[in-house]
Amino acid sequence: MAPEIKQRSSFDLTMRRLLADRAGLVSLTFIVILVVMAIGADGIAALTGHSAIAQFRDTGLTPTGLPVPPSGEFLFGTDQIGRDLFVRLAYGARISLAIGMVASLLAAAIGVTIGLVAGYFGGWVDAVLGRVMDLVMSIPVLLCMLSLVAVFGPSVSLSLSVIVFFSWTTMGRVIRGQVLSLKEREFVLASRSMGAGHFSIMFTDILPNLGAPIIIYTTMMVPTSIIFEATLSFLGLGIVPPAPSWGGMLAEAANNSIYMFAWWLVLFPGLALLLTTLSFNILGDALRDALDPANKGPKAAKAKKPAGVA
């Protein structure tokens, strides 16, 4: 009996390939857990009875002001002013993820638009936009941020703007390169010969073909943005205390040598940061493999089943 042959959609195929990648699956699971933790931060606070900014000066600190190690009451211990580290990590996840996602999406939108326009029109438009990208890439980021904060004072929106401003260029370059080759393809010529306008060609013909790089690079930008936010907060230029952020928590641990006594102040936020960025990077890799099986490298050669056949 001939095996049943089933038509599978492209999305379906991608998901199947993605789920077959064990590393990708683990990362995805971690990210899902993290997202749940971030969304449920209020719930965690309610469960433990500790808000993110409540200072437990009796139970969370020794009489001489030292934080207490992980225990039943404080799962991950307390920080230097007696706040529950676990609850702060959960709220910190909220800020890290929010900034990571929002910044990457915004940066992707800008990068795609500019890359598309530059690649499609070419000529002086490309030259000008190309130089703009070069300019942005050549600005020393931290120095620029330091001066901005000195003028405007640290805030979430400022951090976000800076991250977006400095991270869209990678996406812009990639997209521009892709568009340069896509616009010479037959379907674009066909569209043009049928009288389609620039706008229509860009958005209905070219853009859908850019799906894979956009998804992959946006995912890869998330960890970069998270690290960027953590760096800013670590330098005291990002999230304003007492709001928790992972970078800020690490900075507080580094302050006054407190980490030499309280290892948990470095371990947990550091681990959170490490695992999150690692997960997003692995997920990005897995997405690339799943979206673009042709470009799978040595692993692809081993694939036994032809794509699309179960």
Partner 1 sequence: MRNRIATLAFGGLTLALMSSTGTFAQDAQTGGTLRVLGTAEVDRFDTVPPATADTGSFFRATTRQLINFAASEDPQEQIAPQADLAETVPTATDDGLTYTFTLREGANWDAPDGPRQIVADDVERGFKRLCNPFIAAPAVAYFEDLIVGFADYCAGFAEVEPTVEAMKSYIEDTDIEGIETPSDDTVVFRLNYAANDFIYLLTLPVTTPAPVEVLDYLPDSPEYRDNYISNGPYTIESYVPDTQVTLTRNPAWEAESDPLRNAYVDSIEIIAGVQPDAAMQQLQSGDGDMLYDINVPPVTVQMLSMQGDEKISTLAEGASRMIWINTVSENNDGALRDPLVRQALNYAVDKAAVVQQVGGPEFATPLNGIFPLGILGHHEFDPYPTPDNQGDPERARELLAEAGYPDGLSLKMPFRNAGNGAAEAQVLQASLEEAGFDIELVPTPASDFYPRLITNFDNALNGVWDLVPSGWSPDWPGGAARSIFQPQYTYDGTHGTFNFSDYNNEEANEIADQALSTTDLAEAEKLWNQVDEIVMADPPTVPLISQTTVLYHGDRVENFLPYAAGGNGDWTNVWLNR
Quick one: which of 63, 2, 78, 20 has its CA closest to 305? 20
Q: How many CA atoms lie within 13 A of 14 on its CB side?
A: 12
In the complex, the smallest distance separating the C-beta of residue 78 from partner 1, rounded to whole angstroms, is 12
Residues at the site binding partner 1, with contacts judged by CB under 8 A: 53, 55, 57, 61, 63-66, 69-70, 80-81, 150, 153-154, 236-237, 240-242, 252, 255-258, 260-262
Nearer to partner 1 among residue 168 and residue 268 (C-beta): 268
Do the beta carbons of residue 225 and residue 167 sit within 8 Å?
yes
In the complex, the smallest distance separating the C-beta of residue 54 from partner 1, rounded to whole angstroms, is 8
Nearer to partner 1 among residue 172 and residue 248 (C-beta): 248
- Supply 180's token pair: 């340069």
Nearer to partner 1 among residue 264 and residue 280 (C-beta): 264
Nearer to partner 1 among residue 7 and residue 64 (C-beta): 64
What is the CB neighbour count within 10 angstroms for residue 217?
Answer: 23
Do the beta carbons of residue 220 and residue 278 sit within 8 Å?
no
Q: Under DSSP, is residue 208 helix (H, G, I), strand (E, B) or coil?
A: helix
DSSP string, 113-133: HHHHHHHHH-HHHHHHHHHHH
In the complex, the smallest distance separating the C-beta of residue 143 from partner 1, rounded to whole angstroms, is 14
In the complex, the smallest distance separating the C-beta of residue 236 from partner 1, rounded to whole angstroms, is 4
Do the beta carbons of residue 89 and residue 272 sit within 8 Å?
yes
In the complex, the smallest distance separating the C-beta of residue 288 from partner 1, rounded to whole angstroms, is 36
Nearer to partner 1 among residue 69 and residue 308 (C-beta): 69
